[in-house]
Amino acid sequence: DTAVSQTPKYLVTQMGNDKSIKCEQNLGHDTMYWYKQDSKKFLKIMFSYNNKELIINETVPNRFSPKSPDKAHLNLHINSLELGDSAVYFCASSHSQRNTEAFFGQGTRLTVV
Amino acid sequence: QQPVQSPQAVILREGEDAVINCSSSKALYSVHWYRQKHGEAPVFLMILLKGGEQKGHEKISASFNEKKQQSSLYLTASQLSYSGTYFCGPTPRSNDYKLSFGAGTTVTVRA
């Protein structure tokens, strides 16, 4: 069973479109994250949710809107896609109180053309 | 605020050693280390929770100096499988909801 799963794995879309990436974890974790990794491999945190509540929003354009319907899911919706949004997006989860490892999803490679 | 890692990249021959340093501008509670192979997701290596504590994973070990707000990752007798990008993720407190990484260090091990 996959611990953290993201869909889709690849996403190619045109500028101006709206798209969503879904993430689910079956580890019983209470904290979930979205990261953006650009071509230089910099792994930048975008959002952090704890028990469905937004905790961290790292100066991400408001075209990006995360939604957490329950503790096991954290989706990312992106409006009016721009060329600069092309990157690999990773979802991750961890347990906040145990300071244990974070598990990452396989990543979604978004290409905006 | 992201941690600062050095060096940015290192090339090794099999069997050589390397050290990757990670420093933070904030007081630290713990430091996570992850490795990401090309085209894959980052994978957990270890967490260091106490100052001065060393942990190991295969022939990869790490130390944590909370006074200096630094951690170092030691690759000993490197193997081809050690190639990848290494990320440190320092956390300032025990229930931190922000696992933040830096730019990483790319390690290439050649035969």
Summarize pLDDT for A59-70 with one digit per residue, the tens.
889 999 999 999
Number of domains chain B contains? 1
From A36's Cα to the closest Cα of chain B, the distance in A is 11
- B15-52 residue pLDDT tens: 999 999 999 888 778 889 999 999 999 999 998 886 65
Reply yes or no: is the peptide bond before residue B7 cis, omega within 30 of 0.
yes
Cα distance between residue B49 and residue B32, in whole Å: 9
Can you give the residue range of the structural domain that contains B102? 4-110
Answer positive or negative: Cα dihedral of A76, A81, A85, A86. Answer: positive
Q: What is the mean pLDDT of residues A91-103?
A: 84
Give A56's pLDDT tier (boundaries 50, 70, 90).
confident
Q: What is the mean pLDDT of residues A38-58?
A: 87
Contact A48 B99 (CB under 8 A): yes
Q: Which residues of B55-84 are buried (b: 16+ CB within 10 A; e: fewer)?
A: beeeebbbbbbbeebbbbbebbebeeebbb
Contact A99 B104 (CB under 8 A): no
Instruction: Identify all chain A residues contacting B47, using CB atoms and an 8 Å cutoff.
Output: 99-101
Give B95's pLDDT tier (boundaries 50, 70, 90).
low
Instruction: Identify all chain B residues contacting A56, using CB atoms and an 8 Å cutoff.
Output: 97-98
Give B53's pLDDT tier (boundaries 50, 70, 90).
low
Supply angle C-alpha B99, A36, A113, rounded to 5: 175
pLDDT at B99: 82
Q: What is the mean pLDDT of residues B67-93?
A: 91
Give B69's pLDDT tier (boundaries 50, 70, 90).
confident
Query: To which H or E segment does residue B32 belong?
Result: strand B30-36
Complete domains list, chain A, with CATH: 4-112 (2.60.40.10)
Q: Does residue A89 sit at the B interface (CB-CB below 8 Å)?
A: no
CATH number at residue B18: 2.60.40.10
